[in-house]
Amino acid sequence: MKKILVTGATGQIGSELTMALRDRFGADNVLAAGHGRPPLSKLQQSGPYCSFDVRDASVLRQVVEDYQIDTIFHLASLLSAVGEEKPQLAWDINMNGLLNVLEAARVHGCAVFFPSSIGAFGPGTPAVDTPQDTIQRPATLYGITKVSGELLCDYYHRRFGVDTRGLRYPGLISNVALPGGGTTDYAVDIFYEAVKSGHYDCFLDADTQLDMMYMPDAIDAAIWLMTADGRKLRHRNAFNITAMSFTPRQLAAEIQKHLPGFTIGYRIDPVRQAIADSWPRHMDDSAARAEWGWRPRFGLPKMVEDMLEKIAVKLGKG
């Protein structure tokens, strides 16, 4: 990777991935691209930045050509809960945007990273130790676009030789960017409310177990996969990865070890609860471990301790 484009760079993953890539490959070699959401000042000031809609194929191709891009981390998409509110828009952005990226990569010889999701699975998928290769019949538009994206990336690799690679991310927990409309957003919101008010009302049921990952591990995984020896990759699009699996009740109990007065209540959002209920409880990530050496650094206790410290400082309470 010499010249890198990050689409969706102002989002939850993109804002941190861009900075990590700049630290590793040089700030001038990583072009951040956003649309709609304003960028963090650090993101905009630390390296090149541009704004465009990934649905505009001509602009995308011009950017790739002008900056001599050889690797695209394509993160621009609408997430699960927002996708259910605006399914036509989600399809347009998630699928047409990806197709434009793959076409630009085909023409200009770029490698492509595409993040899939736990949402690519559905109620018919084995919920415990979900296999790498299994039935994928998602119940959400977001999940449908992720499965379609996996297949489209595989097609471009087989048909045109594009170096496409991807990960099925679990719920992601970040102390930098705010959530963007995902079903697992409670696992970020809860820390802000714990520090600010000492109470949080969760939109998922207390015993809803889902795979999760702390953002530093998510960033490491993306870079790790894209720098791995492609000859050893059998799956490519997309690898199951996880770091921890817990319920809102278990997360609250871990927070209470640091903030004994913290309390949690439950105001269930039927839409997001139905989405969560259709997802696996825990994925089997042995393929990622075997094919490119995946290992997470953060489990639940270490993540909670670090999140509370960072959020307290961020809110001026540290």
136 vs 121: CA distance, rounded Å: 5
- Contact in structure between 111 and 72 (CB atoms under 8 Å): yes
The sign of the dihedral angle between the CA atoms of 210, 211, 216, 219 is negative
Q: 244-246 and 210-214: which strand pairing?
A: antiparallel
10 Å Cβ neighbour count for 126?
14
Catalytic residue (choose from 49, 67, 142, 169): 142
70 vs 270: CA distance, rounded Å: 43
Cβ neighbours of residue 8 closer than 8 Å, sequence gap 6 or more: 14, 33, 34, 54, 74, 75, 76, 77
Nearest CA-CA partner of 87 in 154, 139, 155: 139
192 vs 304: CA distance, rounded Å: 12
Cβ neighbours of residue 252 closer than 8 Å, sequence gap 6 or more: 190, 200, 262, 264
143 vs 150: CA distance, rounded Å: 11
Q: Determine whether 142 is an active site residue.
A: yes
Distances (CA, A) of 139 to 129, 274, 275: 19, 9, 7
- Establish whether the linkage from the previous residue to 238 is cis, with ω within 30° of 0: yes
10 Å Cβ neighbour count for 17?
27
- Contact in structure between 210 and 173 (CB atoms under 8 Å): no
Distance spanning both ends of the chain, measured CA to CA: 38
The set of catalytic residues is: 142
